[in-house]
Amino acid sequence: MSRNLVALLQEGLPAEAVLTDPDVTSAYSHDMASFCEAGVPAAVVLPRTVEQVQHVMRTATELRVPVVPQGARTGLSGAANASDGCIVLSLVKMDRILEISPVDRTAVVEPGVVNATLSRAVAEYGLHYPPDPSSWETCTIGGNIGTASGGLCCVKYGVTAEYVLGLDVVLADGRLMSTGRRTAKGVAGYDLTRLFVGSEGSLGIVVRAVLALKPQPPQQLVLAAEFGSSRAACDAICAIMEGGHVPSLLELMDRTTVKAVNDLAHMGLPETTEALLLAAFDTPDPAADLAAVGALCEAADATQVVPAEDAAESELLLQARRLALTALEAVKGTTMIDDVCVPRSKLAEMLDGVERIGEKYGLTIGVCAHAGDGNTHPTVCFDAADPDEGRRARESFDEIMALGLELGGTITGEHGVGVLKKEWLAREIGPVGVEMQRAVKAAFDPHSLLNPGKLF
């Protein structure tokens, strides 16, 4: 089978696009998630054209071989992990920005375009692509679409799903389908575009995307507020949102995270604080907005409020936040990064609960959060070489997800389900929800060839 598969793939692909050396293909077997099984692929394919993707899917359907789509493999749920004998379809070579339209405020891109590359390209036209995951320098637009990813600015600008206007998708049998539109408005038929956003490669292969852009906002300024407790910081967050303020960023780092960032990057962040809140505004008068938010933080018992004086100071604070997950990984060498989103009004209960869980299992759990929309990232730090510690890490991870559901939240705000959380997806949406999602999957992929074993 494997030899026949490779021969058929090579009939429609350049020789260099089909990789079979196990020492090479093993590097494509998994993403960045812990505790997620990964198989051994039969081949890794790196297409450069839509037609080549179609050839791969026709071949896979003919031979009934599973296909695992991949971007940059920066995901945190195992959604890009290979299964035994599969074709790994890596889309990183399809990395062209095909069009940027300042009038329509749209960009047309291939899936392998890196998020930061797109952001810099549209900035030359005075435009802005808002979704900015922490991995924006390496993650791809296709991967962002697959997981419906968010980012630091989501409190004001929203997440990836709100910027995908239309898609070209290669279906499991190799047919090419277009969804959505290029216009500012459009409600013709079912919203299949939104269906594909967040589908984790289980319904089709995105080969082209029409993305909405915004005018480039003014340079944002950032404020840092220190608190003696996470509950006080959450009180400030609630006051900011209840007061009608619209920050471009509202991020929280607990004491453990702040110390980890300092240990990694020597940034001089205040380690005496229990919670560090970062608020930013990109309004015409950001200083005035920061002053108003600073007053709310002081009213919530902030121990210190320090607004950045310029863009350079602001960027330093944002870099500290972007380093949070990398820094926590360095604490013990391995992390399990949770992605539980709760109503903002329940944020303090979520953080207090995570602290109790960490104490119960004797583990270091750092929390950073997109606080403005309640999306927390409790990060369990553990030694993967210690089986007991690994067991406790997994059990604490599950308890954190259970806590999120108890508080009216969701098991994933932006990282996706993949392998890591598929049992929890069933708990969240219930048996009828699972039945209907399986029916959708069957309609697009009747032989279950696309990313099998993911989601449910």
**One domain, residues 161 and 290:** no
Q: What are 29-86's pLDDT values in tens digits?
A: 999 887 888 999 999 999 999 999 999 999 999 999 999 999 999 999 999 999 999 9
Helical spans, DSSP H, in 183-276: 192-196, 230-242, 255-265
Distance between first and last Cα of the chain: 27
Residues 269 and 37: their CA atoms lie apart, in Å, by 37
**445 occurs within a structural domain:** no
- Predicted pLDDT of residue 193: 98
**One domain, residues 42 and 86:** yes
**139 occurs within a structural domain:** yes
**355 occurs within a structural domain:** yes
DSSP string, 373-403: GTEEEEEEEE-TT-HHHHHHHHHHHHHHHHH
- The CATH number assigned to the domain holding 79 equals 3.30.43.10
Greatest CA span in the chain, whole angstroms? Answer: 70
Residues 438 and 431 sit within 8 Å (Cβ to Cβ): no
Residues present in the chain in total:
456
**82 occurs within a structural domain:** yes
Beta bridge partners of 225: 277, 305
**One domain, residues 7 and 24:** yes
Judged on CB neighbours under 10 Å (0-12, 13-18, 19+), 27 is: exposed
**One domain, residues 137 and 228:** no
Residues 117 and 41: their CA atoms lie apart, in Å, by 29
Residues 236 and 254: their CA atoms lie apart, in Å, by 14
Which residue matches tokens 């210190």? 304
**One domain, residues 235 and 359:** yes
Which residue matches tokens 């409790």? 378
Output the CA torsion 9→15→16→19 (10° steps).
Answer: 40
Beta bridge partners of 136: none
What is the dihedral sign for C-alpha 15, 19, 21, 27? positive
**One domain, residues 199 and 325:** no
**417 occurs within a structural domain:** no
Helices 255-265 and 324-332: crossing angle in degrees, nearest 10, is 90
Residues 236 and 227 sit within 8 Å (Cβ to Cβ): yes
Residues 79 and 31: their CA atoms lie apart, in Å, by 7
Which amino acid appears at position 222 of this protein?
V
Residue 6, domain extent = 2-90
- The CATH number assigned to the domain holding 285 equals 3.40.462.10
- Predicted pLDDT of residue 2: 64
**Token digits for 274?**
């229990």
DSSP-derived pairing of the beta strands 221-227 and 302-307: antiparallel
For 450, phi then psi, to 5°, come to: -90, 115
- The CATH number assigned to the domain holding 177 equals 3.30.465.10
**399 occurs within a structural domain:** yes
**435 occurs within a structural domain:** no
Residues 367 and 381: their CA atoms lie apart, in Å, by 11
**One domain, residues 51 and 108:** no
**One domain, residues 379 and 242:** yes
**One domain, residues 196 and 262:** no
Q: What are 314-328's pLDDT values in tens digits?
A: 999 999 999 999 999
Number of domains observed in the structure of the chain:
3
Q: Which residues of the chain have pLDDT under 70?
A: 1-3
Residues 197 and 187: their CA atoms lie apart, in Å, by 17
pTM over 0.75: yes
**Token digits for 37?**
């099984």
Reduced to 3 states, what is the DSSP secondary structure of residue 79? coil
Helical spans, DSSP H, in 197-244: 230-242
From 92, 99, 89, 82, select the one nearest 115 (Cα to Cα). 92
Residue 372's H or E segment, with its range, is: none
Residues 207 and 170 sit within 8 Å (Cβ to Cβ): yes
Which amino acid appears at position 3 of this protein?
R
**One domain, residues 133 and 113:** yes
**One domain, residues 197 and 236:** no
**One domain, residues 192 and 129:** yes
